[in-house]
Amino acid sequence: MAVSSKSARKTKRKKYSALGSKFLSQQSLSKLGIVSLALIKSRNLRRAISIVLFFGIWQFLCVIQFNFFINFTFLPPPVEVWNATVEFFSGNAPVHITASVQRVLLGFGIAAILGVSLGILIGWFRQIEDLVFIPLELLRPIPAVAWIPLAILMFPNAESGMVYITFLGAFFPILISTIRGVESTDIVLLRVGQCLGAKQLHILKDIVVPGAMPNIASGLVIGMGNAWFCLVTAEILAGRFGVGYLTWESYVTSNYPPIVMGMLLIGLMGLVSTLIVDLLTKLLMPWRVMKKQGV
Amino acid sequence: MATLADKNVSALVKGSVEIENLSVVFKRRDQYGPLQVLESTSFKINPGEFICLLGPSGCGKSTILNLIAGFLKPTRGQVLVDGNPVEKPGADRGFVFQQYSLLPWKTTFENVEFGLKVRGISRVGRTELVNDYLNRVGLYKHRHSYPHQLSGGMQQRASIVRALVNSPSVLLMDEPFAALDAQTRHMMQELLLNIWSDLKSTVIFVTHDIEEAIFLSDRILVMGVRPGHIKETVVVNLERPRHIDTMLSPAFVNLNRQVFELIREETLKSMELG
């Protein structure tokens, strides 16, 4: 009687996509470029095309010196950025990258531990919420860059100040998502626990926290992105190394191709680490049914 | 399976429920003021009895179940289970919800095991007992499946054994088969009677399905609306074990007609037609 939902879903999707393309070709919408792109069967091919398009359009706008409100005249085109990248990687790239990755991972790690545990406590105990939530909400909207002077005053060295600023980026999304996840625990499942004789600790461990896991996971994904988001700000404090430091330093010396390279590098490392977090949290939830609702 | 009954000897002597003068009033802040859900209701249930609470929606049948479970506190009156007043939910009163009550992050086995685990029963004892019960309801093969991989009927079977594995003195069931298709529902009713005939724990079963109530119970408490109360008690003297044929017998048809008339009046009232 078990529902082999996977294969059922597959055939369903096939049916729908067949229906969809039929409908669209009837409307001859495929003449529009973007629509025909969306209809390409292979997802990897669609992804590859998206990257080619992104850099292609960028290069094109630089070559024609596009200047209508947004000005591409002085922007380094992808080819120049590529050259800067090659130069960077033939120098001491590993040192810069390692320094940045370490700061982000440390900041994110502390944020994950503190954010999730504090979030569970705030979400579950009214008293703890009353005691700490307002000060936290007060600190939340403060941008990372505003913390720079205080980070210098508060921490014994630049390194810990930088970790603190990446931590700030990751902490709040993780905290808020965890609180929301805990608060939205299904009342029926809580009652199930009570009727089976579960005490508070078991209810938290076996019902509340697993139920909040999807929310916690999205908090972690957003938090990881935000940690990278704060990296340039954090590495204003850095003396010599770091991808963010490099970006900031190139701005001071008006050397533009490395700035764009630094930006893209941060974007790329953010993308990869976010994917890893996403994958790891999915491994923690083998019970989840994932499906996109769109055809 | 006699072994299951042996393990639940205690259920034979336990499981009396006394409802004394229960009233429930919900405070409402809108213009309608307080809502009387249940008005001075009293009844007694003997150990091992199968009772159905039957009535149209809004008659307070689920409210009574929630009071016995301890999810809800009465405005007046009290509930005694085996002579002890109910104050909060506990493992002595198993509960089967209408649907979606399995923990989605636990497999069938882990769901059924959960109650034993939180009460500190050893792994070896747990595994044997849980597998026994899963076998009994045909879920052994699916013990490693997650709830979303099970059909609605399988999920409800798992919910039932999850409650029963703790040997509760009372099993409370809140329209557990209402979301199932007709064929599955009949199978589940027979299966439930089968298990119950072995365990003989008290069952209080809420339903709005007249045939279901007659097929399952020793007594039907027919409830009325505005405010909720016990309108009449109908004793079902049909021979056990009952099968699908029971539903075609003249006695069954007579009871059906009798209860139908009782319910009809109340349904009209609840639809504000009477």
Is pLDDT larger for residue B199 or for residue A138? Answer: A138
pLDDT bucket at A293, cuts 50 / 70 / 90 = low
CATH number for A79-284: choose from 3.40.50.720, 1.10.3720.10, 2.130.10.10, 1.10.150.110.
1.10.3720.10
Chain pair A-B, CB pairs under 8 angstroms: 82
Pick among B73, B95, B105 to test the A interface (most A CBs inside 10 A)? B105
Rounded to whole angstroms, the Cα distance separating A127 from B78 reads: 31
Give the mean pLDDT of chain B: 88
Residues from chain A that touch B89, judged by Cβ atoms under 8 A, are 191, 194-195
Percent of chain B whose pLDDT exceeds 90: 62
ipTM above 0.90, yes or no: no
> CA nearest A290 in B: which residue?
B148
Q: Which of residues 160-219 of A touch B (CB under 8 A)?
A: 188-189, 191-199, 202, 206-207, 210-211, 213
Question: Mind listing the pLDDT tens digit for each residue in A71-111?
Answer: 998 899 999 999 999 999 998 899 999 999 999 999 999 99
Give the mean pLDDT of chain A: 86
pLDDT bucket at A292, cuts 50 / 70 / 90 = low
> Within an 8 Å CB–CB cutoff, is residue B162 touching chain A?
yes
From the CA of B49, how many Å to the nearest CA of chain A? 20
| Sequence-ordered list of residues with C-beta below 8 angstroms from that of B141, at least 6 positions apart, any chain | none
Residues from chain A that touch B90, judged by Cβ atoms under 8 A, are 194-195, 197
Of the candidates B103, B104, B151, the beta carbon closest to that of A3 is on B151
**Residue A196 confidence (pLDDT):** 94
How big is the CA angle at B172 (ends B166 and B174), to the nearest 5 degrees? 130
Domain coordinates of chain A in residue numbers?
19-75, 79-284
Residue (of B153, B65, B144) closest to B112 by Cα position: B144
| Sequence-ordered list of residues with C-beta below 8 angstroms from that of A164, at least 6 positions apart, any chain | A107, A147, A151, A154, A155, A234
Q: What is the mean pLDDT of residues B252-271?
A: 88
Residue-wise burial string across B57-79, b where 16 or more C-beta atoms lie within 10 A, e elsewhere = ebbbbbbbbbbbbbbbebeebeb
Q: What is the mean pLDDT of residues B56-83?
A: 90
Whether A195 sits inside 8 A of B148 (CB atoms) is no
| Strand pairing category for B17-26 and B35-45 | antiparallel
How big is the CA angle at B44 (ends B40 and B46), to the nearest 5 degrees? 165
Q: Residue B202: helix, strand or coil by DSSP?
A: strand
**Residue A181 confidence (pLDDT):** 96
Residues from chain A that touch B162, judged by Cβ atoms under 8 A, are 196
State which H helix or E strand residue B155 sits in: helix B152-164
**Whether the predicted pLDDT of A3 surpasses 60:** no
Question: Mind listing the pLDDT tens digit for each residue in B215-244?
Answer: 999 999 999 887 888 888 999 998 888 988
Question: At residue B43, what is the residue type?
Answer: F
Pick among A3, A6, A191, A192 to test the B interface (most B CBs inside 10 A)? A192
Can you say how many angstroms the Cα of residue B9 is from the centroid of all Cα atoms in its chain? 20
Q: Which of residues 252-271 of B touch A (CB under 8 A)?
A: none
Q: Which of residues 40-69 of B touch A (CB under 8 A)?
A: 69
Of the candidates A5, A188, A210, the beta carbon closest to that of B149 is on A5
Q: What length does chain B have?
A: 274
Q: What length does chain A have?
A: 295
| Sequence-ordered list of residues with C-beta below 8 angstroms from that of B230, at least 6 positions apart, any chain | B41, B43, B221, B222, B223, B224
**Residue B226 confidence (pLDDT):** 78
Whether B97 sits inside 8 A of A192 (CB atoms) is yes
Question: Mind listing the pLDDT tens digit for each residue in B8-63?
Answer: 444 456 889 998 988 888 887 777 778 888 888 889 999 999 999 998 887 888 89
Other Cβ atoms within 10 Å of A44 Cβ, number: 8
| Burial of residue A58, with CB atoms counted within 10 A of its CB: 0-12 exposed, 13-18 middle, 19 or more buried | middle
**Residue B11 confidence (pLDDT):** 44
Percent of chain A whose pLDDT exceeds 90: 68
Whether B89 sits inside 8 A of A195 (CB atoms) is yes
How big is the CA angle at B44 (ends B41 and B46), to the nearest 5 degrees? 160
> CA nearest A286 in B: which residue?
B105
Question: Mind listing the pLDDT tens digit for each residue in A140-164?
Answer: 999 999 999 999 999 999 999 999 9
> CA nearest A214 in B: which residue?
B105
How big is the CA angle at B222 (ends B26 and B243), to the nearest 5 degrees? 130
Question: Mind listing the pLDDT tens digit for each residue in A22-40?
Answer: 444 445 444 555 566 667 7
**Whether the predicted pLDDT of A291 surpasses 80:** no
Side-chain-side CA neighbours of B54 within 13 Å: the count stands at: 28
Q: What is the dihedral of CA A62, A67, A69, A70, to 10 degrees?
A: 10
**Residue A32 confidence (pLDDT):** 55
**Residue B40 confidence (pLDDT):** 84
Residues from chain B that touch A3, judged by Cβ atoms under 8 A, are 149-151
Residues from chain B that touch A285, judged by Cβ atoms under 8 A, are 105
Question: Mind listing the pLDDT tens digit for each residue in A209-227?
Answer: 999 999 999 999 999 999 9
Q: Residue B245: helix, strand or coil by DSSP?
A: helix
Whether A1 sits inside 8 A of B154 (CB atoms) is yes
Question: Mind listing the pLDDT tens digit for each residue in B93-130?
Answer: 999 999 889 999 999 999 999 999 999 999 998 999 99
A100 is written with which tokens? 């940045």
**Whether the predicted pLDDT of B157 surpasses 60:** yes
CATH number for B2-270: choose from 3.40.50.300, 3.40.50.620, 3.30.2270.10, 1.25.40.10.
3.40.50.300
**Residue A41 confidence (pLDDT):** 75
**Whether the predicted pLDDT of B271 surpasses 70:** yes
What distance separates the 2 farthest-apart alpha carbons in chain B?
59
